[in-house]
Structure 1
Amino acid sequence: MSPYIYGRKNAVHIIDIRETVRGLLRAKKYLAQVASGGSLILFVGTKRQAGSIIEREASRAGMPFVSERWLGGALTNFRTIRSRMSRLEELEKIRESDGLAQYSKKMQSALNREYRKMYRNLNGLRNMNRMPECLVIVDPNKEKNSLREAKALGISTVALIDTDCDPELVDLPIPGNDDGIRSIDLIVKNLADAVIAGTKSIEAVKGKDSDKKGKPAAAASSAEAEKK
């Protein structure tokens, strides 16, 4: 982390804010490119300070997230995770249709516990119908398992890293405070904004394509009208 450290005061390392800005700009540019290609970006942050921020910003960007607990094999055993998602949807249908009434109280309690646990761990992965191209991680030290799976599959990583992290483990590190709520909120919000901008560029291109297709048809109709 030495290239990213400005100095030291009272035995505490101070991160160079210029390096934080550089890392953030690089990450935003990359995420916008990934999103503009229609690929998924998985947001990961399970520490107490990051969970609610990760959920809010990933949802705003329309991307999957893990904010409670990383399930082993979420990437490397993706098919199994998808099958668990089917079970979650099955439990939801039972609850919505008042199907629980046909079970004993003991069974109802067991099904409710199963639902709450699965919802907590899987809800953020509902729209991950394919493998992500990139992971956005808050604190790689905390999210070692997700980082390990991403590396094994060749999935790129963007991460907010503090002075106790190894930047070599991440493709695009953003040096900064990964414990402070305000710091996490600022960085993750900016990254989500970049994803949204990239996604909107797809919609803009689709709009132009539809306009181009419509113009020849309109021109043909106009030509026929003139002949008449």
Structure 2
Amino acid sequence: LFQRDIAKLEKNIGGIQDMTALPDAIFVIDVGYHKIAVAEAKKLGIPVIGVVDTNHSPEGIDYVIPGNDDSAKAVALYARAVADAVLEGKANATADVLAAVAPAGDEFVEVSEEA
């Protein structure tokens, strides 16, 4: 009985122990079901992005995505869109950092081998 509970907890929250800092934001599909996570994020000052269905209040959600949180296809669409946006944002941030640290001029120097 305990082994099953431990396995379930490890599956659901196992990655949290490896976090070295607070997340920049959290994404919640069902804001009613995950209301405790939303409340904890608000206490810690973490912005919340959430899919809000008509049967829940958008209170406490910083970035509301109005939509159906009951349909598996809709949930897959939201998750894919957010994952793609995160990857695109990371790529843009990396490109911006590389552009900022890149030297202003061309460092390539051609040397002739005349002896």
Give the Å deviation of 1:201: 1.1
TM-score, normalised with respect to structure 1: 0.42
Higher RCO structure, 1 or 2 (CA under 8 Å, sep 6+):
1
Q: Give 1:178's match in structure 2, choosing from 69, 83, 96.
A: 69
Which secondary structure state, in structure 2, belongs to the residue aligned with residue 169 of structure 1?
coil
Give the Å deviation of 1:204: 1.8
Which secondary structure state, in structure 1, belongs to the residue aligned with residue 81 of structure 2?
helix
Structure 2: runs of 5+ lacking an equivalent: none
1:195 to 2:86 alignment: yes
**Residue type matched to 1:205 in 2?**
D
Which secondary structure state, in structure 1, belongs to the residue aligned with residue 59 of structure 2?
helix
Alignment of 1:1-228 (within 5 A): 116-125=7-16, 128-209=19-100, 211-212=102-103, 215-216=106-107, 218-219=108-109, 222=110, 225=111
8 Å CA contact 2:52, 2:65 repeated in 1: yes
Structure 1 residue ranges (4+ consecutive) displaced by more than 4 angstroms after TM superposition:
112-115
Question: How many residues were matched structurally?
Answer: 112
% identical equivalent positions: 29
Q: In angstroms, what is the RMSD of aligned CA positions?
A: 2.8
Q: Distance in 2 between matches of 1:199 and 1:135?
A: 16
TM-score, normalised with respect to structure 2: 0.77
Structure 1: runs of 5+ lacking an equivalent: 1-109
